[in-house]
């Protein structure tokens, strides 16, 4: 009795299946749940929401082309839009590690939407013949990858990177006149301003944003309409274009049918390209996080140039210790993105003949990397960049002892004499100005002008011009 209350019997072409009573899905989804007990990770919600948008657009396209009765199409579209809004995420239990075409997830969506539409209509809706009309998993899943990624870039990652770039630029402006010792090979080098250092970070982030904008036209080309192998069999001849128009209206993004459906179904090169761009962006965020961690090191025995906000105790045994937790969290996220990119690249090679058969893996890694990078960018902006303070006295003290300033005298003295001055300044731990005054006949006031760190960065000259 208890078992009858918990399960119902569903049927598909292979026979009967027991399905949880409360589940909106049917037999094919349940078979996938039982067949693929690989981990506990389902595809990300953004991918499920993309499937909902696709099914709604397909229903409306089929109705417009006379392939689906308007009332039934409306019920399917309304149900699909509820899926797209995330109202039924818990009814999508299929593992990422499933059939390589993603057929199980496509059927999961078809069955859930059919159940919901059937409730609206007061009678059965067929998941294959109606919800999936004019479609195949082979064009639905590649379209969902492009759609999910394009929306995630627009809604998550690009705004997060813009926030980070703006935050870095704001701090760069505030710190434009603060001069510090530059470092190459982690060793003392010529001076620069903190504004210049942070300005470089902002430029790197802006360049990443431009790369993502550059791939968007290729993401907006979709496989839908190619059905199983690219021929479009079982779809109306006008379905691809009608569908793209419906999807564009629903999302505000100008989706278009791919010029060659065979290529769009058999290859995931655009997804692989996007994954590579995510890896590039992860190196940018990682570089910023590493620089912040080094600049914050100490506070006594390290560089101690800045102080990151103290967010939590840093040790379970050492009282008073505070660690650079935000840069470390961001660095781990960046490493994760790099690892996922490798998985996507390997999966992208599995486009044997007419179909790539690693589509769920590509979708999962791509969308999760976008979400992770967006979170990392916001975390850096809000909890590291916005709140760090600068130890100006420490920066000035290090600058005064920096023998590399002697590089400014190369044209007057030559490299060899400059090296001798630098070696003596290092050995005696004295300011290079004092040593140069003793070892050259250049007047001290002229040396002070030539060795002025602010002048070497160009910031003094720019300030004088502005005034």
What residue numbers does the annotated binding site for substrate cover?
101-103, 126-129, 136-138, 184, 316, 321-323
- d(CA 369, CA 367) in angstroms, rounded, equals 5
Residue in 369, 367, 348 with CA at minimum distance from that of residue 358: 348
- d(CA 155, CA 212) in angstroms, rounded, equals 13
CB 308 within 8 A of CB 324: yes
Residue 268: phi and psi, rounded to 5, are -120, 40
Helix (H, G, I), strand (E, B) or coil at 448: helix
Q: How many CB atoms lie within 10 A of CB 19?
A: 20
Q: Cis bond leading into 299, ω under 30°? A: yes
Q: Verify whether residue 315 is a known catalytic residue.
A: yes
Q: What is the DSSP code string of 231-286?
A: S-TTS-TTHHHHHHHHHHHHHSS--EE-S-HHHHHH--HHHHHHHHHHHHHHHHHH
- d(CA 242, CA 71) in angstroms, rounded, equals 18
Q: Verify whether residue 95 is a known catalytic residue.
A: no
List, in order, residues 6 or more apart from 413 with CB less than 8 Å away. Answer: 421, 440
Catalytic residue among 185, 193, 266, 350: 185
Catalytic residue among 13, 91, 315, 350: 315
- d(CA 181, CA 171) in angstroms, rounded, equals 18
Which tokens is 219 given?
């993401």
Q: What are the C-alpha distances in Å from 49 to residues 53, 154, 158, 283, 348?
A: 6, 15, 20, 29, 23
Catalytic site positions: 185, 315
């Amino acid at each position: 009795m208890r078992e009858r209350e918990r399960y119902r019997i569903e049927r598909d072409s292979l026979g009967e299946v027991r399905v949880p009573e409360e589940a909106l899905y049917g037999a094919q989804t349940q078979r996938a749940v039982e067949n693929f007990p690989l981990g506990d990770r389902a595809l990300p919600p953004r991918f499920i929401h993309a499937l909902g948008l696709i099914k709604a657009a397909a229903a409306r396209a089929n109705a417009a082309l006379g392939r689906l009765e308007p009332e039934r199409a409306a019920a399917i579209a309304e149900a699909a839009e509820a899926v797209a809004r995330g109202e039924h995420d818990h009814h999508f239990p299929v593992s990422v590690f499933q059939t390589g075409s993603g057929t199980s997830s496509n059927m999961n969506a078809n069955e859930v939407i059919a159940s919901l539409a059937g409730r609206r209509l007061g009678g059965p809706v067929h998941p294959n013949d109606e919800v999936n009309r004019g479609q195949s998993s082979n064009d639905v899943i590649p379209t969902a990858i492009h759609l999910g990624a394009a929306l995630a870039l627009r809604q998550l990652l690009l705004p997060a990177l813009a926030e980070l770039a703006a935050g870095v630029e704001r701090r760069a402006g505030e710190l434009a006149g603060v001069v510090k010792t530059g470092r190459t090979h982690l060793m003392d080098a010529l001076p620069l301003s903190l504004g210049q250092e942070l300005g470089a970070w902002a430029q790197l982030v802006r360049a990443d944003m431009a790369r993502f904008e550059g791939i968007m036209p290729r993401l907006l080309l979709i496989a839908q309409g190619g059905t199983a192998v690219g021929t479009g069999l079982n779809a109306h001849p006008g379905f691809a274009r009608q569908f793209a128009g419906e999807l564009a209206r629903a999302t505000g993004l100008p989706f278009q049918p791919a010029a060659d459906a065979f290529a769009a179904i058999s290859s995931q090169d655009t997804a692989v390209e996007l994954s590579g761009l995510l890896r590039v962006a992860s190196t940018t965020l990682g570089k910023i996080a590493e620089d912040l961690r080094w600049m914050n090191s100490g506070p006594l025995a390290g560089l101690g140039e800045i102080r990151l906000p103290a967010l939590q105790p840093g040790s379970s045994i050492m009282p008073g210790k505070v660690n650079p937790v935000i840069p470390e969290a961001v660095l781990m996220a960046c490493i994760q993105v790099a690892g996922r990119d490798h998985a996507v690249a390997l999966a992208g090679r599995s486009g044997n003949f007419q179909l790539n058969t690693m589509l769920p893996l590509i979708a999962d890694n791509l969308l999760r990397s976008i979400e992770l990078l967006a979170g990392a960018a916001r975390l850096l902006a809000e909890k590291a960049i916005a709140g760090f303070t600068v130890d100006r006295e420490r920066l000035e003290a290090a600058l005064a002892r920096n023998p590399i300033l002697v590089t400014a005298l190369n044209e007057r003295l030559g490299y060899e004499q400059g090296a001798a001055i630098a070696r003596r300044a290092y050995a005696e731990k004295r300011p290079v100005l004092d040593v140069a005054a003793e070892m050259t006949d250049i007047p001290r006031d002229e040396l002070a002008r030539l060795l002025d760190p602010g002048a070497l960065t160009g910031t003094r000259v720019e300030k004088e011009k502005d005034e």
